[in-house]
Amino acid sequence: MKISFERLYVISLLIVVAFLVLYPVGMIFFGSIRDTAPGLAGHFSLDGYAKIFRDPDTYTLLLGTLWLAIIRTVLIVVTAVFLAWAVSRTNIPYRGLLKGIIIFAFFMPYMPKILAWIIMLNSRTGLINQAARTIFPLGDEGPFNVYSYGGIIFTSVLLWTPILFILLVPVFEAMDASLEEQSRMSGASIWRTIWHIDVPLARPALLAATALAFVRMIESFTVELVLGIPAKIYVLTTKIYNNLAYTEPPLYPPAMALAVGLLVITIIIVAIQWKLLGQRQYGTVTGKGFRVAPVDLRKFKYLVFSGVLLFIFLNLVLPLGVLLWGSFTKIAGVFMPNMYTLAHYRYALSTTMFTRSIVNTLVIASISATVAMVLCSLVGYVVVKTNFRERRPLDLVTWLPWAIPSIVLALGMLWAYILLPLPFGLTLYGTTGIIIVAFVTKGFPMGTRTMTSTMIQITKELEESSRIHGASWTQTFTRIMLPLVSPGFMSGWLILFTLAAKDLDTVILLYNSRSIILSTLMYEWWWRGELEEAFILGLIQAAIITVAYTGATLLGRKILPPVT
Amino acid sequence: MPTFKTRDEWKASYDAHIAELVAGSKKEGSKLVVYMGRELPAWYEQVTKYFKEKYGIDVEFMGLGAFEAASKIKAEVAAGKVTGDYQASGSSLARPMALDGFYQYYLPPAGLEPGINWFIDPLLDVKDPAFAGKAFSPIISVSMFGIMINTKLVPPDKEPKTWKDLLDPAWKGKLIMQDPSVSGSGNRIYWGMSKRYGADFLKQLVTQNLFIERNEANAARAVASGGYAMYIGSATTHLRQVEGSPVKVIFPEGVVLSIDDVGVITGAPHLNAARLFANFQISKDGQEISTKYGERTPIRGDVKPALDILDTAGKKILYFQTYDDDVNLMPQLREQAKQIFNIK
């Protein structure tokens, strides 16, 4: 049987992606049916599954996890849609600047942001609470408490809205304004136009974004760990972590069985998303020209503008301000005489790890983002623009790294690559290469979603036209698709660069002193109580990402063709 | 175990051994990777400088948490791809690691020095039958746990004189403690209180609406900022992290002690440097740097504690964890703590 070049390419791609994802995921599954960690002597056993099914806590935690994920997903999607619509379809002032700032908000590392909110919203000593109590007679506590369901939801919405915004903005920007104009000319109100024109046009991207947010919220871990556990709020991921990190000896089988359960939930969500999207075509970027003129909000203009500003203030200005302020204080959040100092900066700058972690972060994040985006572009094209039967498994495989709690994925990767037999005495484990592999793998869900969201809007007529005029499949991909998806590629590259530059959990078990990056150094300093130094690293991370973002944006404007 | 009749005899043997290790470490690239989580910044600086100047060895520290470090070491040892050389941690982690073969047997001759009045014998475990024919983890220091109080919120006349004073309704909602079901200060103090007053006392303590925090440094900050009046189980090293704030550590009834252990990892790529480091930590130089820059209580009688608060003299020792506590009873203790404190 003759296999075409295209099919060979798709199968090769599937093998590469499947290896990167399924090998570590397989190790997690392997861990769930063994009574010890992979690599250690032990026996096959289903006790892990039996234990979680028998444990009534599992069902309580599952319900709690789903409830919390649904609430947060709804709020995140609504907020992201509002922001994306406001900056791309309306006439509010400084739209371009606001868009850039919201994207920048996503680039801020999570951990320092959470710590900053603790300093602000701790029920007793939080700066905002103290300020509120000086105005209103509220007693010794409150009115806000970051260690609560409200605190978890609020922080999660702030942390995760920008990433959905990044996914949705290109979709809103690519909509043909003439459709909205026709709606308005037919007498529809602004809100009716949004509901009947904008939302249906963005439906595929919205569904993808909702699914992504939901999966992310089920897998969410750091916020729940830091804010949930002190309030005795537990979810499945913190249960998994407790089984691993806070039980001696670690209970690998039930922890891994729970992680497999989370994988199953993700597969169901992806299947539902496929079912909802069906086989319909959602192309909005066509071979014809279209208008992108904004909608005049008239009297609502400044109301919407204020809403966007409020989000930016809460998401960026306040936490960044607290980090900056805290880094100059002896003890962040503690008021005392002579409280300001440069000692934390002097110490941070004097360590060799400081410089090394910055260089490593830049090199590792750049390489991994580039490699991942090349793979994700190829995957996105196969998934959206071809009918190969391998496209569904390929799509599903790219979701998996997001379905697993990071710490579990980290264990899977540790076991996978430490046991990976390579010829000629080569080794991947213990090198910087392993960190790059980890980030490429972790980048698949976001990278692929960015590219599929972009590609799904490009109608087949462009490619068909190219093929009719004699171009090969490869020429069509490189000369028609690539230029059209370049903004999406750049946006995806930035997202993956950022994720790599601030990711901690994925590489916490893989790095060593030679491959240390900013996030792992920040963790080390935070863990040993040097919070202010950790703040400084958080600020430097933000600065690096800002430079990368600005550079990529300027470069993008120069070299990338507009989407028309 | 070798014995030495005189100090000179020991010194000659010790110096020869150290010279061998230094020569060996040069062949290994004069490098050492140490897993060590929670020392003070000044200690890292001094030790790095000392080792570079004295032996030409570059020491690199990795500050992973106990679980992360142990997972990494176990997987690396099982696969034969070890990247780290040496680990320092609490004995509840180190003792099982040694018994399970993740540390290799090494008897640091620094612990055999004659004429030293050891507060705690660094080679205590090697003499325990449970470790016969197995690796063990030498002891390098002890930590003392008490209660950190905010002096603005707890006037001298209200300072707890016994642990039971914590049950005073005045302290309801004003106490913070590190999670007793995980390794760390909460676990140590929990066991100390449990041994002294039993589980009923702990159940009563829970009714005081204790705030449970996983990160010890955060607990100290919460007291320093006035959010809570007392941090039950604070170590003396926490004082440095909140220096300048109105806090102090008190020891009602006495102190709960925790042992700090070390181990040379099985298959360590820089074996000689790791052994050198084990000797250094027990040696007079190492103990002096430990107490002066790390604010740890020394185990050698010939090294004075750098601060009064680090001195065990005149303090009643309430609890001191044994091999049996760390290896056999720890799982039960953690489960009990989870139930009493309703931790899932």
Q: In this complex, do A334 and B216 lie within 8 Å of one another by their Cβ atoms?
A: no
Say if residue B197 is in the same domain as residue B325. yes
Q: In this complex, do A242 and B344 lie within 8 Å of one another by their Cβ atoms?
A: yes
Contact, B88 vs B113, CB < 8 A?
no
- Measure Cα distances from A61 to A58, B58, B108, B344 in Å: 5, 47, 48, 10
Whether B152 contacts chain A with CB within 8 A: no
* Tokens of residue A135, six digits: 């105005």
Q: Please name the residue of chain B whose CA is at the shortest distance from the CA of residue A226.
A: B214
> Would A247 be classed as within a structural domain?
yes
Contact, B67 vs A246, CB < 8 A?
yes
Say if residue B253 is in the same domain as residue B277. no
CA nearest neighbour of A175 among A290, A14, A7? A290
Q: Tokens 């966007």 identify what position? A: A308
Preferred mutation among A60, A223, A338, A513 to probe B, highest tally of B CBs within 10 A = A513
Contact, A300 vs A93, CB < 8 A?
no
> Which residues between 219 and 238 in chain B have a beta carbon less than 8 angstroms from any beta carbon of chain A?
220-222, 224-228, 238
Neighbours of A289 (CB within 10 A): 8
CA distance A295 to A299: 12
- Give the DSSP H or E segment for A217: helix A203-219
CA distance B344 to B338: 7
Whether A418 contacts chain B with CB within 8 A: yes
Among the partner-chain residues A249, A430, A524, the one whose CB lies closest to the CB of B83 is: A430
CA nearest neighbour of A90 among A289, A291, A292? A292
Residue B315: pLDDT band (50, 70, 90) is confident
Say if residue B252 is in the same domain as residue B265. no
> Would A273 be classed as within a structural domain?
yes
> Would A564 be classed as within a structural domain?
no
Q: Please name the residue of chain A whose CA is at the shortest distance from the CA of residue B327.
A: A248
CA nearest neighbour of A175 among A273, A85, A307? A85
Which amino acid would we find at residue A545? I
Say if residue B265 is in the same domain as residue B244. no
| pLDDT tens digit sequence for B151-184 | 999 999 999 999 999 999 999 999 999 988 887 8
Cis peptide before A249 (omega within 30 of 0): yes
* Tokens of residue A149, six digits: 């369901």
Contact, B149 vs B250, CB < 8 A?
yes
Say if residue B328 is in the same domain as residue B183. yes
Q: Collect all residues with Cβ–Cβ distance below 8 Å to A238 and sequence separation of at least 6.
A: A221, A224, A225, A228, A229, B344
> Would A511 be classed as within a structural domain?
yes
DSSP codes joined into one string, B111-140: GG-TT--BSS-TTTGGGSGGGTTS----EE
* Tokens of residue B178, six digits: 């590190």
> Which residues between 30 and 89 in chain B have a beta carbon less than 8 angstroms from any beta carbon of chain A?
33, 37-39, 41, 60-68, 71-72, 74-76, 78-79, 81, 83-84
Residue environment code for B143-181, b if the CB has 16+ CB neighbours within 10 A, otherwise e: bbbbbbbbeebbeeeeebeebbebeeeebeebbbbbbbb
Q: Is the dihedral of CA A244, A247, A250, A255 positive or negative?
A: negative
| pLDDT tens digit sequence for B82-131 | 989 999 988 888 999 999 899 999 999 999 999 999 999 999 999 888 88
Q: In this complex, do B221 and A531 lie within 8 Å of one another by their Cβ atoms?
A: yes
The CA-CA-CA angle for residues A331, A337, A343, to 5°, reads: 45
Cα of B12 to nearest chain A Cα, Å: 35
Contacts of A527 in chain B (CB under 8 A): 37-38, 63-65, 215
DSSP codes joined into one string, B284-338: HHHHHHHHHHS--B-SBTTS--SSGGG--TT--EEEE--HHIIIIIHHHHHHHHH
Say if residue B101 is in the same domain as residue B204. no
CA distance B9 to A136: 75
> Would A236 be classed as within a structural domain?
yes
- Give the DSSP H or E segment for A242: helix A236-245
Per-residue pLDDT of chain A (564 residues; tens, 9 = 90+): 556 777 788 888 889 998 999 999 898 898 899 887 777 778 888 998 999 999 888 999 999 999 999 999 999 999 999 999 999 888 899 998 999 889 888 877 787 888 889 889 988 888 899 899 988 887 778 799 999 999 999 999 999 999 899 888 878 887 767 777 777 777 777 777 777 777 777 787 888 888 888 988 988 888 888 898 888 899 998 888 878 777 767 788 888 898 888 888 888 887 887 777 664 444 444 445 555 567 777 888 899 999 999 999 999 999 989 999 999 998 888 888 888 999 999 988 888 888 889 999 999 999 999 999 999 988 888 888 778 888 888 888 888 887 777 777 887 888 888 888 777 777 787 788 889 999 999 999 889 988 887 887 777 777 778 778 888 777 877 788 778 888 888 888 888 888 888 887 788 778 877 888 888 888 888 777 788 898 899 888 888 877 877 777 676 654 433 332
> Would A32 be classed as within a structural domain?
yes
Rg (CA), chain B: 20
Q: Is the dihedral of CA B163, B164, B169, B170 positive or negative?
A: negative
Among the partner-chain residues B72, B78, B238, the one whose CB lies closest to the CB of A40 is: B78
> Would B187 be classed as within a structural domain?
yes
Q: Collect all residues with Cβ–Cβ distance below 8 Å to A431 and sequence separation of at least 6.
A: A515
Contact, B130 vs B153, CB < 8 A?
no
Say if residue B205 is in the same domain as residue B101. no
Contacts of B93 in chain A (CB under 8 A): 248
Say if residue B154 is in the same domain as residue B129. no
- Measure Cα distances from A407 to A273, A414, A512, A515 in Å: 26, 10, 17, 18
The residue segments making up the domain with residue B227 are: 143-257+317-340
The structural domain count of chain B equals 2
DSSP-based three-state secondary structure for A175? coil
**DSSP symbol at A285:** B
| pLDDT tens digit sequence for A100-115 | 889 888 877 787 888 8
The residue segments making up the domain with residue A181 are: 5-559
Say if residue B12 is in the same domain as residue B116. yes
Cα of B11 to nearest chain A Cα, Å: 34
Q: In this complex, do A530 and B71 lie within 8 Å of one another by their Cβ atoms?
A: no
How many angstroms from the chain centroid is the CA of residue A349? Answer: 30
Contacts of A250 in chain B (CB under 8 A): 67, 71
Q: Identify the burial level of A11 via C-beta atoms within 10 angstroms of its C-beta, where 0-12 means exposed, 13-18 middle and 19 or more buried.
A: middle
CA distance A287 to A460: 9
Say if residue B132 is in the same domain as residue B11. yes
CA distance B162 to A380: 66
**Residue B81 zone, left/alpha/beta (φ > 0; ψ -120 to 50; rest):** beta
CATH number for the domain that contains residue A207: 1.10.3720.10
- The pLDDT assigned to B128 comes to 86
CA nearest neighbour of B204 among B234, B227, B171? B171
CA nearest neighbour of A236 among A391, A1, A67? A67
Region of poorest pLDDT, from A148-152, A289-293, B20-24, B220-224: A289-293
Whether B253 contacts chain A with CB within 8 A: no
Whether A512 contacts chain B with CB within 8 A: yes
Cα of A155 to nearest chain B Cα, Å: 19
* Tokens of residue A1, six digits: 């049987």
Q: In this complex, do A531 and B217 lie within 8 Å of one another by their Cβ atoms?
A: yes
> Would A35 be classed as within a structural domain?
yes
Neighbours of A496 (CB within 10 A): 28
> Would B175 be classed as within a structural domain?
yes
Q: In this complex, do A414 and B83 lie within 8 Å of one another by their Cβ atoms?
A: no
Contact, A119 vs A322, CB < 8 A?
yes
* Tokens of residue B328, six digits: 């056999």
CA distance A406 to A402: 8
Residue environment code for A357-378, b if the CB has 16+ CB neighbours within 10 A, otherwise e: bbebbbebbbbbbebbbebbbb
* Tokens of residue A440, six digits: 């490429």
CATH number for the domain that contains residue B65: 3.40.190.10
Neighbours of B343 (CB within 10 A): 18
> Would B52 be classed as within a structural domain?
yes
- Measure Cα distances from A165 to A22, A453, A546, B164 in Å: 29, 13, 17, 54
Among the partner-chain residues A508, A514, A531, the one whose CB lies closest to the CB of B68 is: A508
Preferred mutation among B52, B67, B97, B210 to probe A, highest tally of A CBs within 10 A = B67
> Which residues between 227 and 266 in chain A have a beta carbon less than 8 angstroms from any beta carbon of chain B?
229-230, 232, 234, 238-239, 242, 244-250
Among the partner-chain residues A39, A331, A513, the one whose CB lies closest to the CB of B33 is: A513
DSSP codes joined into one string, A82-151: HHHHHHHHB--TTHHHHHHHHHHHHHS-HHHHHHHHHHHH-TTT-HHHHHHHHHS--TTS-S--SSSHHH
The structural domain count of chain A equals 1
- The pLDDT assigned to A139 comes to 79
Q: Please name the residue of chain A whose CA is at the shortest distance from the CA of residue B215.
A: A527
Rg (CA), chain A: 24
Contact, A212 vs A402, CB < 8 A?
yes
* Tokens of residue A228, six digits: 């949930």
Preferred mutation among A246, A413, A514 to probe B, highest tally of B CBs within 10 A = A246
Whether A61 contacts chain B with CB within 8 A: yes
Say if residue B43 is in the same domain as residue B150. no
- Please give the backbone phi and psi of residue A138, each rounded to the nearest 5 degrees, phi first: -115, 5
CA distance B63 to A80: 37
CA nearest neighbour of B10 among B343, B255, B282? B282
Say if residue B156 is in the same domain as residue B284. no
CA nearest neighbour of A488 among A457, A463, A509? A457
Contacts of B344 in chain A (CB under 8 A): 57, 61, 232, 234, 238-239, 242
Contacts of B340 in chain A (CB under 8 A): none
The CA-CA-CA angle for residues B203, A118, A321, to 5°, reads: 165
> Would B1 be classed as within a structural domain?
no
Cα of B227 to nearest chain A Cα, Å: 5
CA distance B190 to B202: 8
Here the ipTM equals: 0.78
* Tokens of residue B202, six digits: 């702990």
Interval B259-272 mean pLDDT: 95
